[in-house]
């Protein structure tokens, strides 16, 4: 292990380490524009140049790619080094615009302005994006072109490259922000720190997820596209990332099932009049929740896309809810979380807040009191649904603002509200795969797509299929207290079944007479509870009485009459009719 001296401090490093890494070990900062620990040392910017002495020989070397050798002495801020760095920074400023990354270096070196003027380029030609695309991602979609003063980073022939996989690695690593990214719909990536644009390939599903561990999306991961990258595996201190793992599917035999698949929210971009995906500072409630959370990249600060806090915010209720064109039902949670957002905005920014609502539905313990608290915090409530969001000004005060058009039904007038940010409260809707899940577990669905309970009052967590329970918003829109209560009720029902050790089945079930069954399997295709199956050995249909609910569908479609319902056989029905007729004196004999 070589030992060297940096700025008078002695350090011992591993073989193969560079001077830059040795300095970092000592806590000595050496500026650089083109270095990244995951990329091969490049040394193009020359900002990291230091003065190295070995014996009597003194020379200038780049710290990022020069190996740390035994006995060398390094000076990182000698007059010669500082003079060298000032010249490089002035040359960069003479070529490029006054970029923040260059201005910071200039301030650190005491440079007020460059002797070579100021250029117009925004790219400093550090090569980080190119090397990331080639070395890490392996897509090779961008590269350097031309020489000398015409040198630039571009795609082949300045055209869209089919090799680009849209991973965004070049955008993330660019120190100047000259590289921009748009999704396939042309929408700008708004608040990229919130992943409101393309999702990261490795991420935690959502905040407070259990288990709170990241997963890799193979459809988004660059490694599964190009065979390269594996950055996550390189930086993981626990060696917990394994790209060779495959999905495992297991069949587990259980006695009860709790379905709690949750809900989706309506896509606000479908409602073009609200400008979601078009205007930078129009965001949804979930996106605002991420933004204001203490663990967000902004540290819980409420900021617009330009990094400034808003001075006025409009919160629009019922986006897609209580709307005959989208969802006719009330989503139940929008009013209260919109009130929470208003409180957070007032508390964190002091901005003026407008709440645009149809009806304020604050039915719950402490909800009405929280509504009154918002009134005391000077939140402006307007009874009327926002009809449109535009950036077209009609007055001087609307310049550069988002203008919310609405009808104030209490004042009987149409209003235009110029604001800096708009928060949309979208409707809750059934998950896209709800019908498939319902078919798998034999559940029914309401007209709105949510799972049907056995009875809205007497069996809110039971379903038509014994042993299968539902809880949460898969059954319908509800808030957290109701979801928790329903989950606890479902768990209690499940535990009662487990403790009992047996179940009570329906007395009225279907049965198939083997002697007359023709094996057509019509009963199997129509059974809503999957209670009928085909016996391959006997070539007849068989009904599982523990699953059958006695609905009689199979009896109605059976062409041979082999499917019968217990206690509803033809002879029993005829006997009942015979008994009724006997009471009035008209006795009729019916064939058995």
| Residue 450 half-sphere exposure toward CB, CA atoms < 13 A | 24
Query: What's the DSSP call for residue 428?
Result: E
- Domain(s) labelled CATH 3.30.70.20 in the chain stretch across 510-571
pLDDT digits over 210-221, tens only?
A: 888 888 888 888
Q: Does domain 3-109 have CATH number 3.10.20.740?
A: yes
Residue 392: what pLDDT? 93
SS3 (DSSP) at 89? helix
SS3 (DSSP) at 57? strand
- Domain(s) labelled CATH 3.10.20.740 in the chain stretch across 3-109
Residue 281: what pLDDT? 92
Residue 222: what pLDDT? 85
DSSP per-residue string spanning 228-287: ---HHHHH-TT----TT----------S-EEE----EE--GGGSGGG-BTTBTTEEEHHH
Is the CB of residue 385 less than 8 Å from the CB of residue 317? yes
- CATH code reported for the domain at 256-504: 3.50.50.60
Residue 586: what pLDDT? 54
Query: What's the DSSP call for residue 420?
Result: S
d(CA 207, CA 195): 13
- Domain(s) labelled CATH 3.50.50.60 in the chain stretch across 256-504
The residues, ordered by sequence, that sit 6+ positions from 588 with a Cβ below 8 Å of its Cβ are: 578, 581
Q: pTM for the complete prediction?
A: 0.67
pLDDT digits over 287-344, tens only?
A: 999 889 887 778 889 999 888 999 999 999 999 999 999 999 999 999 999 999 999 9
Residue 589: what pLDDT? 54
Residue 199: what pLDDT? 60
* Residues of the chain scoring pLDDT < 70: 182-199, 207, 585-592
Query: Exposed, middle or buried by CB within 10 Å (0-12, 13-18, 19+), for 509?
Result: buried
Domain 510-571 fold is Alpha-Beta Plaits (3.30.70)
pLDDT digits over 547-588, tens only?
A: 888 888 999 999 998 999 888 887 888 888 888 887 776 555
The residues, ordered by sequence, that sit 6+ positions from 377 with a Cβ below 8 Å of its Cβ are: 342, 343, 346
* Ramachandran assignment for 561, one of left (phi > 0), alpha (psi -120 to 50 degrees), beta (any other): left
User: What is the phi/psi pair of residue 581, to 5°?
Assistant: -70, -30
Task: List, in sequence order, every residue forming a beta bridge with 10; answer none if it has no partner.
Answer: 5
């Amino acid at each position: 292990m070589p030992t060297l001296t940096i700025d008078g401090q002695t350090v011992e490093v591993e073989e193969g380490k560079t001077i830059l890494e040795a300095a970092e070990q000592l806590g000595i900062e050496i500026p650089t524009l083109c270095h990244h620990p995951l990329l091969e040392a490049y040394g193009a910017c020359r900002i990291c140049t230091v003065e190295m002495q070995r014996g009597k020989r003194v020379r200038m070397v780049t710290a990022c790619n020069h190996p740390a050798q035994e006995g060398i002495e390094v000076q990182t801020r000698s007059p010669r080094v500082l003079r060298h760095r000032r010249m490089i920074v002035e040359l960069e400023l003479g070529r490029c615009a006054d970029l923040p990354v260059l201005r910071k270096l200039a301030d650190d070196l005491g440079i007020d302005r460059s002797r070579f003027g100021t250029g117009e380029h925004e790219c400093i030609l550090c090569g980080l994006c190119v090397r990331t695309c080639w070395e890490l991602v392996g897509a090779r979609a961008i590269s350097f072109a031309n020489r000398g003063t015409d040198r630039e980073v571009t795609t082949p022939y300045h055209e869209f490259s089919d090799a680009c996989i849209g991973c965004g690695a070049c955008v993330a690593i660019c120190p100047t922000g000259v590289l921009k990214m748009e999704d396939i719909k042309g929408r700008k990536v708004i608040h990229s720190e919130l992943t409101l644009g393309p999702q990261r390939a490795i991420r935690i599903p959502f905040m407070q997820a259990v288990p709170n561990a990241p997963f890799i999306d193979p459809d988004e991961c660059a490694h599964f596209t190009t065979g390269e990258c594996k950055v996550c595996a390189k930086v993981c201190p626990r060696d917990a990332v394994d790209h060779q793992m495959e999905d495992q599917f297991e069949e587990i035999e259980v006695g009860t099932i709790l379905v709690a698949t949750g809900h989706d929210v309506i896509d606000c971009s479908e409602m073009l009049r609200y400008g979601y995906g078009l205007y930078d500072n129009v965001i949804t409630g979930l996106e605002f929740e991420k933004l204001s959370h203490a663990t967000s990249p902004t540290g819980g600060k409420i900021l617009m896309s330009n990094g400034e806090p808003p001075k006025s915010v409009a919160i629009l209720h019922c986006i897609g809810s209580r709307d005959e064109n989208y969802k006719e039902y009330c989503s139940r949670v929008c009013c209260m979380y919109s009130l929470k957002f208003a409180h957070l905005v007032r508390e964190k920014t002091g901005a003026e807040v407008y709440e645009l609502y149809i009806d304020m539905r604050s039915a719950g313990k402490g909800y009405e009191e929280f509504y009154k608290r918002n009134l005391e915090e000077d939140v402006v409530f307007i009874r009327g649904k926002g009809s449109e969001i535009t950036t077209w000004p009609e007055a001087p005060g609307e310049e550069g603002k988002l203008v919310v058009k609405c009808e104030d039904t209490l004042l009987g007038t149409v209003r235009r509200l110029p604001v800096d940010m708009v928060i949309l409260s979208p409707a809750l809707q059934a998950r896209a795969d709800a019908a498939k899940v319902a078919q798998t577990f034999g559940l029914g669905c309401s007209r709105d797509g949510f799972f049907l309970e056995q009875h809205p009052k007497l069996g809110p967590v039971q379903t038509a299929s014994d042993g299968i329970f539902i809880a949460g918003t898969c059954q319908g829109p509800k808030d957290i207290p109701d979801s928790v209560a329903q989950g606890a009720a479902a768990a209690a029902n499940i535990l009662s079944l487990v403790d009992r050790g047996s179940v009570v089945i329906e007395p009225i079930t279907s049965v198939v007479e083997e002697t007359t069954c023709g094996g057509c399997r019509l009963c199997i295709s129509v059974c809503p509870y999957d209670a009928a199956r085909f016996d391959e050995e006997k070539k007849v249909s068989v009904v599982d009485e523990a699953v059958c609910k006695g609905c009689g569908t199979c009896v109605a479609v059976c062409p041979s009459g082999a499917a019968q319902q217990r206690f509803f056989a033809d002879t029993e029905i005829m006997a009942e009719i015979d008994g009724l007729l006997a009471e009035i004196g008209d006795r009729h004999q019916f064939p058995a």
